[in-house]
Amino acid sequence: MSVTMLDKLWDAHEILTNDEGASLLWVDRHLVHEGSHHAFAKLAERDLPVAAPELTFGVADHYAPTRHRDHVDNADVAKMLDRLSRNTDAHGIRLFGLRDPRQGIVHVIGPEQGITLPGLLINCGDSHTSTHGAFGALAFGIGATQVAHVLATQTIWQTRPRSMRITVEGALPKGVTAKDIALHWIAKLGTGGATGHAVEYAGSTIRALSMEGRMTLCNLSIEGGARFGMVAPDDTTFAYLDGRPFAPKDDAWDAAVQDWRALASDAGADFDREVRIDAGDIAPTVTWGTTPEQALPITGTVPDPDSFDGARVKAAREALDYMDLVPGQKLSDIAVDQVFLGSCTNARIEDLRAAAAILKGRRAKVPGIVSPGSMLVRAQAEREGLDRIFTDAGLDWVASGCSMCVGMNGDTVPAGNRCASSTNRNFRGRQGRGARTHIMSPVMVAAAAVTGHLTDAREFL
């Protein structure tokens, strides 16, 4: 019988099923961050230990200050960071804390450290946990009650999602990236388009993507409603992981690779849903509204709300109102006040290199922040001289964290300001109260910085 990768991963982790059709699954890796404080409080209420501290890793990222790390001024931020270190200390959990040279965003450092591997079930109290599926892992975000459950039992109850395959074939046109593949399918299917499904990305375009690109794509799966995004592991995956600190070594590595090669969906496996995309149809894409589905190629114009159906008409009208845009306006005419290059979506070394290639020898017309996905990415970028390119262009080169993606650490976009951002959410107020966010790829952010308005990055390539 032909089996999907989803079913192979699921069956390998299923401890039992109950009468209601839910599966109790084993959790191989559990990643916690500052936001996990509710879960630790639940554990404390019941006086329970953490079941498997050796499989649990703590990361300071959501509240991590990106400047002045020696002394944290903001009392709220200090409280959150302190709570995380006290909770991880108390339970013997390894923490990548604020001053650890390996600190960074949880979805960047998991793979970077080899904590993320193919064939694992990975949970984190964060919706972008789907990122880790790029390695052929069953990785999904959970809420605080479930985080407490995983801490206490190292297991999780789940109902098997339906399977969906998005096949992308052909060479990506110049200037088109994994970010654009994601925005393209979400604009087509909607933010709830893949709800209830686990998405497997397949096809020649996906096989040709680097691990960085695959992570970007899987990261954004949740913006289309899918809790799970995954790519079958292959030589690109193994080359990325070989030698990472927490990855298996020697004989264990060989045994692992052999097991991982068997994870791919069998030829002829049936999916509940199939979507096919021709890579040649994808253009550099930007959002014009307040959900990731409100996106169009940069060559387009702001749409007329009446061109949509049903509830989308009103949603588009409200979005244009919030974004202060009018139908018919050319997207490339929209002026921005600032840029942000960062987040678990697009702040890996490849992203920084691509943006720097455009900024090299140029000045940014608007201010902006560049926050690498991890302190190791930051160090690598500095070895390559990328930091100088960014600062020579007039952008701020800061430390790693979630930063302006969510603004919890105080890095926010002022009300009314418009930001070209490499992040994953353009929700109202996401980057700060009243902030107007346009999401796009790192090269598009760099191009917007240079011209001061949304710009087709292909003009610089």
Partner 1 sequence: MAGWTTHNGKAVALPRANVDTDQVIPARFMSASRAEGYGGYLFADLRDGDPDFPLDRHPDASVLVAGPNFGCGSSREAAVYALVDAGIRVVVAESFADIFAGNAVNNGLLPAAIPDAGAILDALGDGTASARVDLDGGTLTIDGKTYAFDLPKIWREKLVNGWDDIDLTRAHADAIAAYRKTRAKTASWAWPDGAS
* Among the listed residues 202, 256, 339, 402, the single contact to ligand SF4 using CB under 6 A: 402
Q: Is 218 known to sit in a ligand binding site?
A: no
Per the document, the length of the chain is 461
Indicate whether 379 belongs to the interface with partner 1 (CB under 8 A): no
The distance of closest approach from Cβ of residue 423 to partner 1 in the complex, given in angstroms and rounded to an integer, is 12
Number of residues engaging partner 1 in binding (CB under 8 A): 79
* Among the listed residues 105, 334, 439, 443, the single contact to ligand SF4 using CB under 6 A: 105
Indicate whether 343 belongs to the interface with ligand SF4 (CB under 6 A): yes
Q: Is 15 exposed, middle or buried (0-12, 13-18, 19+ CB in 10 A)?
A: exposed
In sequence order, the 6+-apart residues with CB closer than 8 A to the CB of 140 are: 122, 123, 129, 130, 158, 227, 228
Q: In the chain, count of helices (H) and strands (E)? A: 15, 19
Indicate whether 405 belongs to the interface with ligand SF4 (CB under 6 A): yes
The distance of closest approach from Cβ of residue 144 to ligand SF4 in the complex, given in angstroms and rounded to an integer, is 15
The distance of closest approach from Cβ of residue 429 to partner 1 in the complex, given in angstroms and rounded to an integer, is 5
Give CA separation, 27 vs 15, 74, 106, 154, 161, in Å. Answer: 10, 35, 17, 5, 17
How many angstroms separate the CA atoms of 221 and 133, rounded?
10
The distance of closest approach from Cβ of residue 251 to ligand SF4 in the complex, given in angstroms and rounded to an integer, is 35
How many angstroms separate the CA atoms of 375 and 347, rounded?
11
Q: Is 419 known to sit in a ligand binding site?
A: no
* Among the listed residues 360, 428, 452, 460, the single contact to partner 1 using CB under 8 A: 428
Indicate whether 259 belongs to the interface with partner 1 (CB under 8 A): yes
DSSP string across 274-314: EEEEEGGG---EEE-SSSTTSEEETTSBPPPGGGS-THHHH
Nearer to ligand SF4, 215 or 405 (CB): 405
How many angstroms separate the CA atoms of 150 and 154, rounded?
4
Angle CA 354–417–212, to nearest 5: 25
Q: Is 402 known to sit in a ligand binding site?
A: yes
For partner 1, what does the binding mask look like between residues 206 and 225, x meaning CB under 8 A?
A: -------------------x
Q: Which residues are annotated as a binding site for [4Fe-4S] cluster?
A: 344, 402, 405
Question: Which chain residues interact with ligand SF4 by CB under 6 A?
Answer: 61-62, 105, 107, 126, 128, 343-344, 402, 405-406, 424
Q: Which residues are annotated as a binding site?
A: 344, 402, 405
